[in-house]
Amino acid sequence: MSMFNELTKQPNTSEELQPPFFGALLRIVWQDVRSRMHKAIHDAGFADFQDAHFAVFSYPLPDGIRPSELARQKKMSRQAINYLITQLEELGYVERRASEGSDRRLIYLSARGQKIAETIFTCLRRLHAEWAEEIGHERFDVFLDVLKQLSLKAQESTPEAGP
């Protein structure tokens, strides 16, 4: 059998992997998490926060970081991240300020941005408790350990973006 035929062969037993594969499952769960965070943010009174703003409001949050470094960290172009930073700055969620003795402005969360971050964290803590209750605390702890291990491995294998 050719390599192509072997790779495209349809599974014929229930023990073989079948779609949806883990990537799709992760995406489906992530979309639910993001939707819940967005609802929590809007319910907290931040109606001007848009889905695109999650690019900046994702782990790790900006705290004294250069825009170019933030772009690298979020795997975005500098133009795209600057567009979002400008929007978030106009909405009062982030601020650019220079450190003492430097003219280079860094990105920080404003007090309003900190409130959104806390809203997100509260939502995630609530979801954590909900899922732990749903599948059992021990299974959920194992799930988190696996995600942490895979996350570390992914960070090790991700090549650094060029200048």
**In the chain, what's the furthest Cα-to-Cα distance?**
69
Phi–psi pair at 11, nearest 5 degrees: -60, 140
pTM as predicted: 0.82
144-156 per-residue burial string, b: 16 or more CB within 10 A, e: under 16: eeeeeeeeeeeee
pLDDT single digits (tens) 69-98: 999 999 999 999 999 999 999 999 999 998
Structure tokens at 33: 């998490």
